[in-house]
Structure 1
């Protein structure tokens, strides 16, 4: 029997039941805790790495996915408590949550193939819309889908404006070469092909050519934002972003002029001046954001972020509602550029402020991109496609893209852009995705006119646009992703490669000299001469 010394504490000598229980549970839980196990390397077996991934507490990739799942479950439960009719299975909110989860999983799986995650998200949307007995896409309300896509595109355009502020804008010569000539050549080529192959009238052919010639801001700007560590003197990123927005505006203006009910000179001039009105709106709102809220305002960063996102969404939604087409992109891009330029010039600690705002926008974009590309895939309806239309679209699309690639490369020969960047700029405007909005606009106008001879033309335009999106969006995104990896060498990578090559040449030269001089090696003077020469 254990004796207690005089003056001793009975609680210290005799463990309580709780202490014995905690010690027992600690001993039994050691095999399941990460702090008692060594983190396995990538070179070790898959079984060890999988075992370590499921140890407690949750960590790594598993913890991140658990956080996403719990967040989505909490959001669904809140919506279920507020409005059960909108959150039950088969409703709008439930379908959006299922689409988001499936698109996020597909985007993660596609990255294992070294492809951009947007490919998996887009293909999940296409499958959800077109696989029989899956009615998720049909349950998503069109106005919800449009609002969510526009909000996600707002975040993307804001990030692009912040990215452009750190780059040199480039010359106006490059502007006209990259923006106007390739778009005009592709538009003319596509319109002629559609006129003589599909027998569409000239107005329909020009409208279809302008729709097919416009590119996807969502896909291209997302890939541009993933390009990192390039020199700040590089201007091709800002040129591509500006060319993308300008080309889409030209396409919208051409369609608006072609299908306007008042084809007089005043209406045409008004349509041509609309882009300048967008620039003016973006400049005015951007200047207001430079001074509101003031620099000494309490919670300055929070209110600047709220005003930036809120005003951009308001501008985009308002202009889109007025014009019925996607023509608010330029205003949001100019707005973010002017606001970032004003903060960079007029505020103290401006770099820290811009970095924090870009971090917040990056967090928003992490969630918005999944919905954006998933909903874009849901808009692709494969039931309108047949083999005859597929052959026409493939021939016309391939001809127009080849002509554009050649013209885009040739017009930038005598510029400061390198050969690799010329190739990337030529490929940059390949993916098509948002152009289906204009095709639906044309079809709706044909249906509103009530002329039965025009309605088949409207359905042909819609079918060709859907096929162009399906053929160019996944392939173009994959091609741009691979081209950015292999064509755009960063300064760090090029210097590392040159250093490795120099060390390799030095080592091979030393080995050859040692083999010629025998085992004794070279003298000290000869070694110094060889080092200097290398």
Structure 2
């Protein structure tokens, strides 16, 4: 496993740097590193590492969502208001409906199979979006209408909504039943996640003010509690709906609101952690990609991905109607809300493992969505924010 980790970090950093020099996002180099090292190519990664790949990717997500919480100002979110709530689910609904319209004509799928495919595609990637929005907050871009905060908040909740939809659709495909309660669970899991995060953050602030310790120790404590929040979500699954990831981000927000000086210091620590976590996350995402799937139905799958993406962007535009957000800022939001990666890597193969007839097509589309949208979204944000957003 140690050799595999060495290859991941050395080659991931190297290719990331090469792509940076080419004025392309470093994450593209890291994803390609994963594809090269994966069992579907050179097969240089230890199987024991691949077995815990999902846990390692979740670790990286914990780091980036805590970092997002420590960077968010709650007053900015209040100022955004209605669009922030709509961005949590409206673009995803548009994308699912887009796939339902396109996939049956391209792949000959049933409406339910297309809905499963759409729910795999519809999740946006916090791992691609969050670091870029944090940079924009730090640099003061989009400050007037809190554009980075709007995208950060929406991207964090979007995944919860999509995964619930995916679970409902796959349950139907396997002959199960979906009740109204399945959909009521979405707001309940978000509200409970927020409440738990705020409570945990307040307790941690009181603890840190009472007991003196180094910031590095505080970081380890926060990381450990974050892992416990995810485990709590897993243990309560089927009984009480709870979003551990939203709880983690809200905990970061609470710490910043209650103890701003510590929040800034911890944010710097998490920035350093993200250097390694980013490489690990995107190389392991790349390692899940089997290009042979993509080559089999490549053009048809590309039509579905691009068509659904255009419809998703229309959904983002709808969310921003009747707001003071300028046309340029709306275009930026539409582009920034396109990247896919982590959720597609996590759930793209599940329909195939369930034995569903659409499993192969779903996996192919999930693979291509990562390869197309992760670099596309990252490049769009990196190249357009200075032209589309107002800076300090």
Secondary structure class of the residue paired with 2:87: helix
- Distance, in Å, in 2 between the alignment partners of 1:257 and 1:377 is 27
Matches within 5 A, 1:93-242: 93-129=2-38, 132=41, 134-137=42-45, 139=47, 141-165=49-73, 168-169=76-77, 170-227=79-136, 228-230=138-140, 233-242=144-153
- The 3 A distance-change label for structure 1 pair 211 and 373 is same
- Distance, in Å, in 2 between the alignment partners of 1:240 and 1:321 is 30
Secondary structure class of the residue paired with 1:137: coil
**Alignment RMSD, CA only?**
2.7
Kept in 1, the 8 Å contact 2:256–2:264? The answer is no
Kept in 1, the 8 Å contact 2:164–2:182? The answer is no
- The 3 A distance-change label for structure 1 pair 405 and 270 is closer
Residue 190 of structure 2 corresponds to 275
TM-score, normalised on structure 2?
A: 0.88
Kept in 2, the 8 Å contact 1:95–1:140? The answer is no
Residue 378 of structure 2 corresponds to 477
Secondary structure class of the residue paired with 1:226: helix
Residue 286 of structure 1 corresponds to 201
Cα deviation, residue 404, structure 1: 2.4
- Distance, in Å, in 2 between the alignment partners of 1:443 and 1:287 is 43
Deviations 1:471-499 (A, max 9, x none): 212222222211224323422xxxxxxxx
Matches within 5 A, 1:505-520: none
Choose the corresponding residue for 2:364, options 463, 468, 473.
463
Secondary structure class of the residue paired with 2:349: helix
- Distance, in Å, in 2 between the alignment partners of 1:393 and 1:125 is 21
Residue 334 of structure 1 corresponds to 250
- Distance, in Å, in 2 between the alignment partners of 1:410 and 1:166 is 24
- Distance, in Å, in 1 between the alignment partners of 2:324 and 2:382 is 23
Matches within 5 A, 1:482-501: 482-491=383-392
Choose the corresponding residue for 2:322, options 384, 389, 414.
414
Moved more, 101-110 or 284-293: 284-293
Moved more, 354-363 or 232-241: 232-241
Is 1:259 matched with 2:174? Answer: no
Deviation >4 Å, runs of 4+ = 231-234, 320-324
- Distance, in Å, in 2 between the alignment partners of 1:104 and 1:318 is 34
Moved more, 206-215 or 270-279: 270-279
- The 3 A distance-change label for structure 1 pair 318 and 379 is farther
- The 3 A distance-change label for structure 1 pair 438 and 425 is same
Deviations 1:162-215 (A, max 9, x none): 111276113332224433332222221212212333222222211211211211
TM-score, normalised on structure 1?
A: 0.66
Unaligned runs of 5+ in 2: none
Secondary structure class of the residue paired with 1:218: helix
Is 1:358 matched with 2:267? Answer: yes
Larger RCO of the pair (alpha carbons < 8 Å, separation 6+): 2
Secondary structure class of the residue paired with 1:299: coil
Is 1:244 matched with 2:155? Answer: yes
Cα deviation, residue 267, structure 1: 4.8
Cα deviation, residue 303, structure 1: 4.0
